[in-house]
Chains A and B, each alone.
Chain A
Amino acid sequence: MAPPLVTNESLMHLGDLWFPTLAEKAMGGVDLLYWGIFWVSVGLGAAIFGVAVYLGMKYRRGSAAARPESEHQGMAMEVAWTVIPLVLVLSVFVWSFLDHLRSVVPPADAYEVRVLGKKWFWQFEYPQAGVTAINDLVVPVNRNIKLNMSSEDVIHSFFLPNFRRKKDVLPNRTTSLWFHADREGKYQIFCAEYCGDGHSVMLGNLLVVSQEAFDQYLAKASATSDEPLPQLGKKLYQSKACFTCHTVDGSAGTGPSLLGLYGKKRRFADGSSLDADENYLRESLLVPAARVVQGFQPVMPTYQGLLKEREITAMIEYLKGLK
Chain B
Amino acid sequence: MSHHPDPNASYLESPAGFWPWLKSWLFTLDHKRIGILYFLGIVFSFGLGGFFAMVIRIELLRPHGLMLTHTQYNQVFTLHGAVMVFLFIIPSIPATIGNFVLPLLLGAKDVAFPRLNLLSFYIYLLGAVLAIFSLFSGAVDTGWTFYTPYSTQTGTAVISMTLAAFVLGFSSILTGINFIVTIHKLRAPGMGWFRIPLFAWATYATSIIQILATPVLAITLVLLILERTLGLGIFDPALGGDPVLFQHFFWFYSHPAVYIMILPAMGVMSEIITTHAQKDIFGYRFVAFSSIAIAVISFLVWGHHMYVSGQSLYANMIFSVLTLLVAIPSAIKVFNWVATLYGGHIHWRVPFLYAMGFIFLFLIGGFTGIILALLSLDVHLHDTYFIVAHFHYVMVGGTVMAFVGALHHWWPKMFGRMYSENWARVAFVLVFLGFNLTFFVQFILGSKGMPRRYHNYLDQFQPLHAFSTFGSWVLGLGFIVMTVYLIHSAFRGKKAPANPWESRTLEWQTASPPTTGNFEGTPTVTGGPYDYPRAGAAAGRNGRPE
Shortest Cβ distance from A92 into B: residue = B374
Residue from A67, A74, A192 in contact with B283 in the complex, judged by beta carbons closer than 8 Å: A74
Shortest Cβ distance from A149 into B: residue = B310
Say yes or no: A29 contacts B453, CB within 8 Å.
no
Query: Chain A nearest CB: distance from B533 CB in Å?
Result: 10
Say yes or no: A99 contacts B376, CB within 8 Å.
yes
Say yes or no: A70 contacts B343, CB within 8 Å.
yes
User: Which residues of the partner chain B approach A143 to less than 8 Å between Cβ atoms?
Assistant: none
Query: Chain B nearest CB: distance from A144 CB in Å?
Result: 18
Query: Given A30-B377, A92-B370, A81 and B150 touching (CB < 8 A)?
Result: no
User: Which residues of the partner chain A approach B338 to less than 8 Å between Cβ atoms?
Assistant: 48, 51-52, 55
User: Which residues of the partner chain A approach B364 to less than 8 Å between Cβ atoms?
Assistant: 45
Say yes or no: B150 contacts A154, CB within 8 Å.
yes
B3 within 8 A of A: no
User: Which residues of the partner chain A approach B339 to less than 8 Å between Cβ atoms?
Assistant: 74, 77
User: Which residues of the partner chain A approach B325 to less than 8 Å between Cβ atoms?
Assistant: 89
User: Which residues of the partner chain A approach B459 to less than 8 Å between Cβ atoms?
Assistant: 5, 7
Query: Given A62-B544, A157-B308, A5 and B456 touching (CB < 8 A)?
Result: yes
A213 within 8 A of B: no
The segment from B46-54, B163-171, B380-388 found at the interface with A is: B380-388
B316 within 8 A of A: yes
Q: How far is the CA of A200 from the CA of B328 in the complex (A)?
A: 37
User: Which residues of the partner chain A approach B21 to less than 8 Å between Cβ atoms?
Assistant: none
Say yes or no: B460 contacts A9, CB within 8 Å.
yes
The segment from A15-23, A129-137, A268-276, A301-309 found at the interface with B is: A15-23
A-facing residues in B439-474 (Cβ within 8 Å): 443-444, 447-449, 451-461
B-facing residues in A89-126 (Cβ within 8 Å): 89-90, 92-93, 95-97, 99-101, 103-105
A267 within 8 A of B: no
Say yes or no: B310 contacts A5, CB within 8 Å.
no
Q: How far is the CA of A103 from the CA of B316 in the complex (A)?
A: 13
Chain A 3-19, CB-CB to B under 8 Å as 1, else 0, gives 10111110111010111
Chain B 305-343, CB-CB to A under 8 Å as 1, else 0, gives 000111001001100110011011001101111110111
Say yes or no: B150 contacts A41, CB within 8 Å.
no
Say yes or no: A171 contacts B237, CB within 8 Å.
yes
B67 within 8 A of A: no
A290 within 8 A of B: no
Say yes or no: B454 contacts A166, CB within 8 Å.
no
User: Which residues of the partner chain A approach B363 to less than 8 Å between Cβ atoms?
Assistant: 41, 45, 48-49
Chain B residues packing against A (C-beta within 8 Å): 63-65, 70-71, 74, 141-143, 147, 149-150, 153-155, 237-238, 242-244, 277-278, 280-286, 308-310, 313, 316-317, 320-321, 324-325, 327-328, 331-332, 334-339, 341-348, 352, 356, 359-360, 363-364, 367, 370-371, 373-377, 379-380, 382-384, 443-444, 447-449, 451-461, 534-536, 538-539, 542-544
Say yes or no: A93 contacts B334, CB within 8 Å.
no
Query: Chain A nearest CB: distance from B545 CB in Å?
Result: 9
Interface residues in A, total, Cβ within 8 A:
95
Say yes or no: A20 contacts B448, CB within 8 Å.
yes
Say yes or no: A199 contacts B376, CB within 8 Å.
no
Q: How far is the CA of A64 from the CA of B345 in the complex (A)?
A: 10
Can you list 19 A-B pairs, Cβ within 8 angstroms, ordered by A? Answer: A7-B459, A34-B371, A49-B360, A62-B345, A67-B535, A67-B538, A78-B286, A89-B327, A93-B373, A93-B374, A99-B375, A100-B316, A155-B149, A155-B150, A171-B237, A194-B74, A194-B147, A199-B454, A254-B70
A223 within 8 A of B: no
A183 within 8 A of B: no
Query: Chain B nearest CB: distance from A105 CB in Å?
Result: 8
A264 within 8 A of B: no
User: Which residues of the partner chain A approach B374 to less than 8 Å between Cβ atoms?
Assistant: 33, 37, 92-93, 95-96
Query: Chain B nearest CB: distance from A168 CB in Å?
Result: 5
Residue from B277, B371, B377, B383 in contact with A157 in the complex, judged by beta carbons closer than 8 Å: B383
User: Which residues of the partner chain B approach A283 to less than 8 Å between Cβ atoms?
Assistant: none
Chain A 161-184, CB-CB to B under 8 Å as 1, else 0, gives 110111110111101000000000
Residue from A19, A62, A92, A297 in contact with B448 in the complex, judged by beta carbons closer than 8 Å: A19
A278 within 8 A of B: no
User: Which residues of the partner chain A approach B64 to less than 8 Å between Cβ atoms?
Assistant: 2, 5
Q: How far is the CA of A171 from the CA of B152 in the complex (A)?
A: 13
A127 within 8 A of B: no
Q: How far is the CA of A175 from the CA of B458 in the complex (A)?
A: 27
Say yes or no: A64 contacts B376, CB within 8 Å.
no
Shortest Cβ distance from B331 into A: residue = A85
Say yes or no: A93 contacts B448, CB within 8 Å.
no
Q: How far is the CA of A85 from the CA of B329 in the complex (A)?
A: 10
Say yes or no: A161 contacts B150, CB within 8 Å.
no
Say yes or no: A159 contacts B449, CB within 8 Å.
yes
User: Which residues of the partner chain A approach B70 to less than 8 Å between Cβ atoms?
Assistant: 197-200, 254
Say yes or no: A170 contacts B444, CB within 8 Å.
no
Query: Chain B nearest CB: distance from A300 CB in Å?
Result: 14
Say yes or no: B543 contacts A97, CB within 8 Å.
no
User: Which residues of the partner chain B approach A101 to less than 8 Å between Cβ atoms?
Assistant: 313
Say yes or no: B321 contacts A11, CB within 8 Å.
no
Shortest Cβ distance from A13 into B: residue = B460
Say yes or no: B332 contacts A82, CB within 8 Å.
yes
Which of B242, B317, B380, B542 has the most chain A CB atoms closer than 10 A to its own CB? Answer: B380
